[in-house]
Structure 1
Amino acid sequence: MNNYDVILSRVIKGIRNVNEFYVIVTEDNEVFRCNQLPASVPSITLDKMADAFYESCRDHLTKFAASEDNKDVYAISVYTDYNHLFAFYVNTLEGLGETYKNNSDVKYDEASFEYIFEIFNDEFELMREGYITAYHTVFDSNLGYHLPEYVGDFKDIKCALENIIFQEQSYFIALETAKRLKEFDIEQLNTTEDFVIYAKTGQNEGLDYSLTMRQTVPLSLLYRIFPEIQTGDEQFEQLKAEARALPLKKQIEYWLKEFNKERHGMNHNSKIVRCLKSDYEAVLALVENGVAIIPELYEEFKTAFIESDDSKESNNRIYFLNYTLGEFTLYPKEMVDDFRALLSSEEVQKINEYTVEDIKQTFYYMQRNQDF
């Protein structure tokens, strides 16, 4: 569990950043940015990719439903990971085998699924190919977020993609597909009483148990399948109750310490890990204090920003406080104005560019949700 978990958790929760520009890859594999595309230039958007993937998975499900294997279906997993792999898994009790029916660790592990689909329709595969091409071109260019502006005539473009697709939105695509299949298509299958459909991130169990699977699996059923999740939930509620008894500043220090434990190779000491949670739960634990904690959070963030020395510990602190700030729905105007000045100060030069981009996204969000 790490900063990446926080990003994924926000994606899974449905928090989408504003699409600020398009990433353009030319026929010569040069990469540029463009704020607006002419209507005549086709683009790859997040919604188009999500629709194409859902349609393809639905086709696989429909064909499976018409086969003789359609009996005692107990699980469907819609999978993606940081390598941009997509897969659609289906399993039945017969496919699982008698030996493992009561072993949840094996029963819901994709490695034990009998029916695996990794080839999707042409529309989705073409978009995924364009995305992967652009992804590697961007990172091979070593330009990071500093892409040059496109000034051509739009006749040499290999592909153009919304920038938000690069912000781990493959996880949004998988989760939306699982939700839509559950709502519209599952009745075609002969399922068991405890049938589940869920998305998986391929990242870690804490993230999937604490957030991803809960988007499509009722909590009572999740507890029945994985009793250890219920135990972890109960233990984590006790931790939160203990933390809430502390002053707000002490609560921030408490959860920041837990957030950092895993990142410093201290998994065995991490209360979050022991409760089968992701680091994002530390963010949410602070948010449960409501708007009363926003001024304290901002002051802690501002101090961390000004005192940054670009060390790992310093960046982790900024990262955690920044993402926690971005979880609220209304912000004082004077705070937003102060944040704007902070981003224009010399201190921003001491922070790595990727963290700065995350901070800017939080600022844009706060700006849209300021209290006028």
Structure 2
Amino acid sequence: MNTRPSDRRWVLEAVRRIEADFQRSSDTHLIPLVLPAFAGIELYFKDESSHPTGSLKHRLARSLFLYALCNGWLHAGSTVVESSSGSTAVSEAYFARLLGLPFVAVMPATTSAEKVAAIEFQGGRCHLVEDPTTIYSESRRLADELGGHYMDQFTYAERATDWRANNNIAEAIFGQMRLEQHPQPAWLVCSAGTGGTVATLGRYVRYCRHETRVCAADAERSVFFDHYVGRDPDLTLSEGSRIEGIGRPRVEASFLPDVIDAMVKVPDLWSVAAMHELSRRLGRPVGGSTGTNLVAALACMSQMRERGEAGSVVAILCDSGQRYANTYYDRSWLARAGLACDAEQLAVAAWLDGAAAPPELVGRWRLAGELA
């Protein structure tokens, strides 16, 4: 079917609106965390919570919309459908509203009321399913029924982002590090949700011929780490991750193990403990996946310290902890979930202040690649 001039004009205007929105926003901050016990090693957090929709997924949603528009998949009046109960849905709802398009998030019926409210605040609609494993097929069915487009973040995340330039997160980090003592990071640390951000980091450092290595952090209930080790594409789990936004019960197309230099599989209890300790030191709450990233960053830094190496490590601060007031920051919820972590938080604090990695953590975490 030939594209009508009116359709082409709508697409060009849609791209202009998204690019104009980008021009109205400055890049996110790079925050140093001073740790005297790690002499010669600097730790920074790329704070993605300052995006208009409050998380790292704002970058992904923008890229997915531009990818769909330029591929001819979105048209005036298209209903945008996504399988997501978290930050991606919030961000996609934002861009759909920017273009005047209806948005539907397909999510498990157990999704928190806070997440539903955040999506609806951005103008989206939530379609709840009882069986979480059906969110993919239900998203496709709904998009077909409505004559819309299924964004499918888990397939397209790694290819929608221009990993060579276009101010992607990797290029932004290296630009912001330019005047630091160690401008070329020894490690970039990022947890995997779709795998798209990790893929962008890994591809960019290779394209620019940097010596920087990429460490991917994984949650307890996730197949990514085992896929990295064994390359089995058919791995599945019957339960989803308790660390929102990261970890998957199946291997997603956007997860590219060959661009990753090391992985750390972090027990959920320690992700939450690290989240609380980092929040205390920064003076503001961060999300659970940022705690996962902190543990992985400390694994990299501990290896550097043992080898007498100097350098910098940059980890991703994925989102604000304000979204988790009724879960990760609710002591009764943590107790019910088996994630009460007062002792573990003290152990993380001691680690940050110079102690060795907590033996209880070392006995449970898993390391692979250059950290093994």
Q: Give TM-score, length-normalised by structure 2.
A: 0.26
**Counting helix residues as a fraction of each chain, which structure ranks higher?**
1
Higher relative contact order (CA 8 A, sep 6+): 1
Q: Give TM-score, length-normalised by structure 1.
A: 0.26
The structure whose Rg is larger is 1
